[in-house]
Amino acid sequence: MRVAAVQLEAVVGDVSANLAACEELADQAGQAGAQIIALPEFFSTGIGFVDALKDAALPPDGAATELLLTLARRHRALVGGSFLCRDGDGHVRNAYLTVGPQGLLGRHDKDLPTMWENAFYTGGHDDGVLSTDDFDVGAAVCWELMRTRTVTRLRSRVDLLMTGSGWWSVPRWHPHSVFDRWEGRNAATARAVAPMLAKYVGAPILHAAHSGVLTCPMPWLPITYRGHFEGSTLIADARGNVVAERRGREGPGVVVGEIEIGRVSPLLEPPQRYWLHRRGPLPAAAWTYQRWHGQRWYRRHVVRA
Are 112 and 143 in contact by the 8 Å Cβ rule? The answer is yes
Task: Report the distance separating Cα 201 and Cα 230, nearest Å.
Answer: 23
Mean pLDDT of the chain: 98
CA atoms of 74 and 117, how far apart (whole Å) = 32
- Tens of pLDDT, residue by residue over 176-219, are 999 999 999 999 999 999 999 999 999 999 999 999 999 999 99
Please give the domain boundaries of the chain with CATH numbers for all domains: 2-301 (3.60.110.10)
Share of the chain above pLDDT 90, in %: 100
The pLDDT tens digits of the residues spanning 154-169 come to 999 999 999 999 999 9
Q: Residue 305 pLDDT more than 90?
A: no
Cα-trace Rg, the chain: 18
Contact (CB, 8 A) for 81 and 164? yes
Q: Is the pLDDT of residue 84 over 90?
A: yes
Do 236 and 133 meet the contact criterion of CB atoms below 8 Å apart? no
**Cis upstream peptide for 175 (omega within 30°):** yes
Q: What is the pLDDT of residue 270?
A: 96
CA atoms within a 13 Å half-sphere pointing along the CA-CB vector of 165: 27
User: Are 99 and 26 within 8 A, CB to CB?
Assistant: no
Measured CA to CA, the distance from residue 161 to residue 45 in angstroms comes to 23
- Give per-residue pLDDT as tens, 47-69: 999 999 999 999 999 999 999 99
pLDDT tens per residue across span 253-265: 999 999 999 999 9
CA distance to 151, 154, 155, 200, per residue, from 270 (Å): 7, 12, 9, 6
Residue 2, beta-bridge partner list: 258
Using DSSP bridges, classify how beta strands 231-236 and 205-210 pair: parallel, antiparallel or unpaired.
antiparallel
